[in-house]
Amino acid sequence: MMPFLTEKFGNPSSIYSYGRESRLAIENARKTVAKILHAHPAEIFFTSGGTESSNTAITAAVHDLGCRHIISSPLEHHATLHTVEYLNQKGEAALSYVKSGTNGHVDLEDLERILGESGEKCLVTLMHANNEIGNLLDIHAVGEICKKYNAIFHSDTVQTVGHYPFDLRNTPVHFITGAGHKFHGPKGVGILYINENVQIKPMIHGGSQERNMRAGTENLYGIVGFAKALELATERYTEDSMYIGGLKRYMADQLKENIKGVYFNGDTFGESLYTVLNVSFPKTEKSEMILFNLDIKGICASGGSACTSGVDQGSHVIRAINNNPNQVAVRFSFSRHNTREEVDFVVSTLRGLI
């Protein structure tokens, strides 16, 4: 990214040489991303991140593709949930939520039932991997069900782009999303994949950037950084996924061994992200302040308990699958930069806190 932050300052929309240099960098980044995801470069659009990408796809499905019924899940990221709720409240689309089991997996039979009973054209929007509990969706199975009922399929793949191999030429999906900061890239840049058979209108109007799909001067440095980070993440996928998955399993084993009453949320050791471990601890006076106390020790983890007292509503995901007011849920995330020594430090700190 550095040359574009220092010397190569041309506006990609300009016709002079500095601009052409920047334009070339963007198109090369697009080709890199397309090649890694096995898509066509014309199907890749750069955005400000996963939220914008999901908003664009969901809104376009209703406004441009004639979807009058949205089928989603209460476990989705708020970028999806708040968008579908908004469209429903405005009376633009009916909204149904597909059931999920206590392990957090979407009930595909229920999805098929809702699609079969709907008299309207449907948009199905289900995330590939849950950002809190890590559960993975069978994206191919859902795509095939959608195909059967002529439904549009959008999947929030923010947690999986850069972490799993993709073959979009052979995946029955209309829209997917990605965000650079999920795989060590810059923040504030993402992608929206729009299948070549889908025609939608722009959500942001103005200039002709992103082939008339997203007006506004491009985030040149972010786009270059996104493509490079994706390239590095993909090259290291095999070794990194094994190493990081090993850390996750090691921490789960250490927690079970050292802390009484721990409970893992989601399909932790089955179809699940190798980067996320969601743990419920018994609720005590000490554990209610768990995130604050971990932070004091220099441990970064995020929360979400089933508790709904005060301002903290807790996690909507945990409430949906494990609404136990006597537990406090914490999400631990892992990367290739973490070590077993760090896991040991976290576990011994948690022992002292609970």
Query: Which residues fall within 8 angstroms of residue 40, CB to CB, at 6 or more apart?
Result: 34, 196
The sign of the CA dihedral 247, 248, 249, 255 is positive
What's the half-sphere exposure (Cβ side, CA atoms, 13 Å) at 101?
A: 9
Cα–Cα distance, 121 to 67 (Å, whole number): 5
Cα–Cα distance, 169 to 40 (Å, whole number): 8
Alpha-carbon distance values, 49 to 152, 186, 216 (Å): 21, 10, 15
Residue 300 among the catalytic residues: no
Among residues 67, 122, 146, 307, the one annotated as catalytic is 307
Q: Residue 241's Cα: distance from chain center in Å?
A: 17
Give the pair of three-digit tokens for residue 267.
């399909």
What's the half-sphere exposure (Cβ side, CA atoms, 13 Å) at 270?
A: 13
Are the C-beta atoms of 71 and 46 separated by less than 8 Å?
no
Bridge-based pairing of strands 302-303 and 327-333 is antiparallel
Active site amino acids: 307
